[in-house]
Structure formats: structure tokens, C-alpha cells
Amino acid sequence: MTSLKFCDMCSLFQKAIIQSGTALSSWAVNYQPAKYTRILADKVGCDMLDTTDLVECLRNKNYKELIQQTITPATYHIAFGPVIDGDVIPDDPQILMEQGEFLNYDIMLGVNQGEGLKFVDGIVDNEDGVSPNDFDFSVSNFVDNLYGYPEGKDTLRETIKFMYTDWADKENPETRRKTLVALFTDHQWVAPAVATADLHAQYGSPTYFYAFYHHCQSEMKPSWADSAHGDEVPYVFGIPMIGPTELFNCNFSKNDVMLSAVVMTYWTNFAKTGKGFFVNLESSVLNKDTYGTMVL
């Protein structure tokens, strides 16, 4: 969606459904393209100093050799992705949104309850919860990877720990694990999505927001996990109606089938009418204080 305003086919688009993050997420834009290009070039023998020669060398490489290279970006960032090039993406996405560059497009966007699972699932012994040491380390690592080592980082870390501690149950390792998932969910998905919705709605553009809380039963995910990143996808594409697949190996119930039918109806209603789950409303233009919200 970031580049819709600046493409030759802009008139072909009137609406956008934004899932799995927005252009304001920390990993949505690669702000260091030259750095990762150099890393890739060195790995495939294109270690020229002149950038023109380097690009020509990369263009002559077989695509299989390029995609087989492992390049690990800093946590919460991306090695290869959209770049602010001045043409397709002329400026930082937040600046473009603040300028109302997307006000002509209706949007529906949302988040899942436990998007941040992937950042907690790898913590040692998390099946029984998260220890105080693991919690402190995760918060410190979160601050360092996102912000480097800024002045006042200790205050920032302590503030985050304070806000994401359930003081009524602070000794419970399972509660500690839950609040840690909430931290990653809020920062990486919820806050960017809400900010995107607010910026879009400020111009009176139709804006709808959903929160997805459901997930299918699967052995591939911890029993304690909530609706994680991508858990809405099978319901959007009707997978419960055809049964488990290799990609979505879930024990789908009749309730899953019914929910999938509802989700597909909402998504297609939005595509057809721009009203989504408010298809029967004869409403005025929604603004930043009243944009539609739905919990699934």
C-alpha cells in the first residue's frame, strides 16, 4: 500500500486490507539497504568497491545463488524489503501518511491477540513460564536491538519492565510470559496498526480495525499461546471448510468453519462495498474518533 500513490496503476486500487503488520512496523522498511547489499555481495564474490560494478556483478549471478545466502539482520529489522528510493517510496511511510498521501483509499487492518509469540517461544523453559532473569534479559535485548545504546537506556528498560509487569501477580512465571508476549505484540504490531488507523482516519477516510482472538487447535503451537502471527490466514481463505493442510495442520471444528465463513464475508464485503463488517450501516464518513472496530 505504501507505493499505491506513486505507481502508474493507482486508479486500479480503491481499497486495501492490511494484515500481518503495517508500513510503520520496525521491520517494514529497510533503512540500511547498502549495508545488506554489501554483505550479500561479499558472500557471492561481488566484493567490488565501485557500486556500479558491484550491481552489475550481482545482476549476472544466478538467482538461486542469491536466495541461498543466509543474511541475518538485527532483531526486529529486515535485511531485504521495501526501500525509500525516492521513486516508488519517495519518503518515510509515516511522513507520507501524515501528509494524507493515502486518503483516497479505504482501509481495513487489524492485529491478532498474541502476535509476539515468535519472540517468546524461543526462550528456554518457557513452557513453565518465564523466569525473572529471562524477563529482564528479554527486555534489555529488546531495547538494545531496537534503539542501540541511547542515553537513558536504563530508564527506558526499567519503564518497560514496570509497564509490562502484572503487579497483582508479579511472581507468577506464566503471567510474566503473558506480559512479555504482550510487549512484543504491542510494539511490533498493535502500536503501528493503531497509529496507521489514526493517521488514515484523520482525513475522514473510511477506516476499519479488527482484533483477532481465535486460533485453531494445533500441535505446532504451545498450548498456552493465544492467537499468534498469521493465525487469521486460514480463516480468510476458507481452510477450515476443506480440512487440515500441510501448511495449516489444525484440528478444525464446526465453530472454525462458521468463523471462517464470517471472516470471508467481512473481507469480501469490504472489497465490494468498502464497509466490511458494517455493510448494513448507512453511516457518515468515519473519523479518527469513531472508526469501526470488530473483535473476532
**Cα angle 263, 286, 202; round to 5:** 115
Are 239 and 246 in contact, with CB atoms under 8 Å apart?
A: no
Considering the domain delimited by 4-29+82-295, tell me its CATH architecture.
3-Layer(aba) Sandwich (3.40)
Where residue 177 falls (left for φ over 0; alpha for ψ -120 to 50; beta otherwise) is: alpha
pLDDT of residue 63: 94
Q: What is the pLDDT of residue 289?
A: 60
* Per-residue model confidence as pLDDT tens digits over 197-223: 999 999 888 899 999 999 888 877 888
Residue written as grid cell 463488517: 277
What Cα–Cα distance (Å) separates residue 202 from each residue in 102, 211, 281?
11, 21, 21
Domain ranges of the chain: 4-29+82-295, 30-81
* pLDDT value of position 203: 87
Tens of pLDDT, residues 21-68 = 999 999 999 999 999 999 999 999 999 999 999 999 999 999 999 999
What band does 168 get if pLDDT is binned at 50, 70 and 90?
A: very high
Q: Distance between CA atoms of 87 and 76, rounded to whole angstroms?
A: 26
Return the pLDDT at 104.
Answer: 84
Q: What confidence tier does 276 reach under pLDDT thresholds 50, 70, 90?
A: low
Task: Judge whether 183 and 164 are in contact, CB under 8 Å.
Answer: yes
